[in-house]
Every structure is written in C-alpha cells, then in structure tokens.
Structure 1
Amino acid sequence: MSGKSPFDLDVLGSKDAKADIGTRLDREIERLRTTPTPVARAISTGDSLMGIFSRTRDIIAANFSELLDQADDPAKMIRMIILEMEETLVEVRASAARTIADQKEMHRHTVKLDRLQADWGDKAQLALSKDREDLARAALMERRKAADMADQLKAEITVLDDALRAYEADIAKLQSRLREARSRQSQIAARLESAENRFKLRNLMTNERVDEALARFDQLERRVDYAEGRADSLEIGGKGKKTLADEFAELEGGDKVDEELEELKRALGKAANKEG
C-alpha cells in the first residue's frame, strides 16, 4: 500500500482520486445532515413538552386554599394535588435529563464539525498548492457547510441552556410547593383526626349503651353502700359490750361519785348541828 497522501499531486490528478477525495468526511457530513438534531427531536414532540410546562405553571400558580375550600373532600383533594405534583416533578426531571443528554450530543457534533472545517481547510490549501482551484473551491464549500451546521448547533445549545435554567427554576418551585402541600396534608390530617375524635366522643356520650353502663355503675355503688352499711352496723352493735378498760373506768368513776356523796353528807351534817 502506498504511503502517499491523498493530496499528493499525482493522486490529485487521477480520476479515481476525484471520486474518493474526502470520502470519509463526506460520509460524516452526510450523516450529520440526515441525523435530526436534538432540538429538532424536541420540536417534533413539542406538544408533550408544552403540556409539561403548562402543568408545571398551573401547579406553581395554584391556590391551594381555594382548591381545598371548594372540595367536598379536602383530604382526597390534597392527596390528588400531591400526586399530580409528584408526577409532574418526575416528568420535569426526566425532560431535564433528556435535554442534558441532547446538549451533550450537540457538543459532540460541534467538535466533529470543527474538525471537519479544519480538514476541509487543509484540503483547500493543499489543492491550491497543487494548482487545483476546482478542488480547493469544493473543499471551501464543504467547510462552509460544516461551519453553518456548527453555528446552528451552537445556537441550539444556547436555547437548551435557557431551557435547562427554566427546568432548574421550575424544579425548585415545584419542590417548594410540594413541601407546602405535604405540610397542608399533615394539617388537614390532624384536623380531620381531631374532628373524628370529637364526633366519636359526642356519639359515645349519647349512646344508650353508655347510659346502661353508667346505670350499672350506680347499681354497683348502691351494693357497695349496702355492704359498708352492714359493716358499720356490726361496729355499732359491738359498742354495747364493756371492755376491761371500760369497767376500770367505771370503777374509778364510782369512787369519785362516792367521795362526792360523802362530802355532801358531811356538809349536810354540819348544817344540821348548827340548827340544833
């Protein structure tokens, strides 16, 4: 195999060289032309993309208080809102991931196109150095095509940069609203539980079974009162029997009475003697 460059003078002058020159680069250019760019794919699915943005904007601008006030079942409504927000957040993140992937693919294309421009520029210079102005012109035209495609891709990359910033802002807002919605859900759940407990309590207080239970308590209290009364009556009956201490106390009390009686007698005797 010859080690000569495809742009050697003798090769440039051959008929086959004219057909083969830049074949690899031509194929690459053609592939880039026929392969839809990421932005083109995004435009082709613009309806779904706009749908996501529309849902995102609606959720961000939603008035939770108004929605809940108008709902017949606030707990169910807040669950639906949170579910919708979570699904939208997943879709927005997925769209952002696809956009990042498309942007990376575009960067790879621009690098390839920059190399193509350099290659075609080298070809044009070589062709002119060999007095092949026709080949130089063709190479410059191909370089111009590659440059135009690179400029288009760079413009599309700028558009995707703006889209990614919008995604980032929307994701942050969605996360904030999602936290708010979950907080409202907790508040609603607490209020609902409190209301249910109050309802159960009121229902319990007006329940006939409760009245029956209270009546049974009254009967039990009466039975306890009767048992206590019997015990008290036994104690009262026991008070009629004298204890040993009681008998000694009576003896001591009797002695005092006798002493007082003798004193009265002596006093009366003295009084009678004086009268006599």
Structure 2
Amino acid sequence: MANLFIRITDIISANIGHLVDRVEDPERMIRQVILEMDDHIRRAEAGVLDAITSEKQLAHELEEHRHQSEKWREKAEAALTAGNENLARAALVRKKEHDGTAKNLEGPWETAVDTSKKLKAQLRQLENKLAEARHKRSALIARHRAAEATQHIHKTQKHFQKGLDTGDTFIRMEDRVVEIEARTEAVAELYDESSDLEREIDKLAMDAEVDQEMAELREKVGQDKI
C-alpha cells in the first residue's frame, strides 16, 4: 500500500510541462498521465476499503469479546448469589478468557483505526490532486494548442516576410505579367495592321473590278448609241 501511494505521489509531483516538451503528442501524453493517476487512485481506494474493513472486523470482534466478558461476569455474580461458588469461579474463568482476548485485540484495533484514518486522509489528498491535475490538463492542452497556433503563425509570417524582403518572386511575377501584356498588345496591334492592309488590298481589287465593269458598260452604251 505504501509503495502504491508513493507511485501515485511521484506521478502527481511530476513536471507535466517537462514531459510535454519531450513527446511528439503532448495532449495524448497528458491524457495518459491522468489515466494512470486515476487507475492508481482507484487501486489505492480499494486498498483503503480493505483497511477500513479490517478495522471494522477487529472492532466487531473486540466488542463481541467485551460483551461476552460482561455476560460471564453477570453469570458469575448470579451463581455466587445462588451460593454456587464453583460455578461462579468457572464463569469468571470464561470472563478472563474473553478479557484476555479483548486486551490482545485492542492494540491491533487501535493500529487499524490509526492506519485507516491516515489512508483515508491520504486518499482524499490524492483525489484532490487528481482533480487539480484534471484542471491543469485542460489548461495545458489549451496552452499547447495556442502555442502550436502561434508557432504556425510565426513560421507563416517568417515565410511571407522573407518573400517580401527579397522581392524576387514578386518581381519575377510582375515582369512576366508585363511581358505577357506587352506581347498581347503587340499581337493585337499586328493583327489590326494586317486587317487594315487586307482591307486596303480588297478595296483596290474591288475598285479595279468596278473600273473594269464601268469601262465595259461605257463601251456597250457607246455602241448602242451608234
């Protein structure tokens, strides 16, 4: 029982924050520690119940022998009153037997009472420590998550800050965009110029055809007049 309480105390006294720093999954570690503490306390509780049971059994046995002692005293007195001294003496012998047994039980019973009180007090303290650890668990988990979030933000800020400080990535992107825009404008301009030229050529061809037809039409009209 003593070793069990020492083990529980060691767990509760452990620097959980230090343990958290050494594991990859602090939340899982914290929960495992709490579960281990709870398991040990449940076992300690069973031990305390056994100690209390033993105390009660000794108390009951002691009380029974005291009761029998008084009972045989009364019988001895009754026998002596009746004039039967031998029977009274025999009753007193039985009384002394119960007195002796009761006396022998007093020491163990007192020790059991003291042990039960100490174990119950220690168990209450451990249960209070466990309740405190559960509260700390919630706080530690919240702090761990906040720390991870802060670390992630710092890494992200550092990453972006590095990009903003050098400017290489954004400069290259901007240059590429400008190049694409210039190429697009050049293609559009070239297309417009080609379209204008084609329209001019088409217009010249059409004018030539019109002139040809006009010439033919004049020739025909002139012949008709003759």
Choose 195-204 or 168-177, whichever is displaced more: 195-204
Deviation at 1:222, TM superposition (A): 1.8
Partner of 1:55: 15
> Runs of 5+ in structure 1 lacking a partner?
1-37, 63-77, 243-276
How many residues are paired up?
A: 182
| Cα 1:198/1:225, change in 2 over 3 Å | farther
The one of 92, 95, 111 aligned to 1:148? 111
Q: Give yes or no for contact 1:127–1:136 (8 Å, CA) kept in 2.
A: yes
Matches within 5 A, 1:96-175: 96-127=38-69, 129=72, 130-131=91-92, 132=94, 133-175=96-138
Matches within 5 A, 1:23-102: 38=1, 40-42=2-4, 44-45=6-7, 49-50=9-10, 52-56=12-16, 59=17, 83-84=25-26, 86-102=28-44
Q: Give yes or no for contact 1:117–1:144 (8 Å, CA) kept in 2.
A: no
Deviation at 1:45, TM superposition (A): 3.9
Deviation at 1:99, TM superposition (A): 1.5
Alpha-carbon RMSD across the aligned residues, in angstroms, is: 3.7
When the two structures are superposed, what TM-score results if normalisation uses the length of structure 1?
Answer: 0.52
**AA aligned opposite 1:55:** N
- The 2-side partners of 1:116 and 1:162 are apart by 26
Q: Give yes or no for contact 1:124–1:137 (8 Å, CA) kept in 2.
A: no
Q: Give yes or no for contact 1:124–1:136 (8 Å, CA) kept in 2.
A: yes
Partner of 2:212: none
Q: Give yes or no for contact 2:59–2:109 (8 Å, CA) kept in 1.
A: yes
Please list the CA deviations of residues 210-263 of structure 1 after superposition, one character each: whole Å capped at 9, or x if unmatched.
856854663454233211221134445667778xxxxxxxxxxxxxxxxxxxxx
> Runs of 5+ in structure 2 lacking a partner?
73-90, 208-226
Please list the CA deviations of residues 167-207 of structure 1 after superposition, one character each: whole Å capped at 9, or x if unmatched.
21122023113212202312332442354356467442355
| Cα 1:84/1:53, change in 2 over 3 Å | farther
- Which structure's residues are more often helix, by fraction? 2
Q: Give yes or no for contact 1:82–1:181 (8 Å, CA) kept in 2.
A: no
The one of 183, 189, 195 aligned to 1:225? 189
Identical pairs, percent: 8
The one of 157, 169, 176 aligned to 1:204? 169
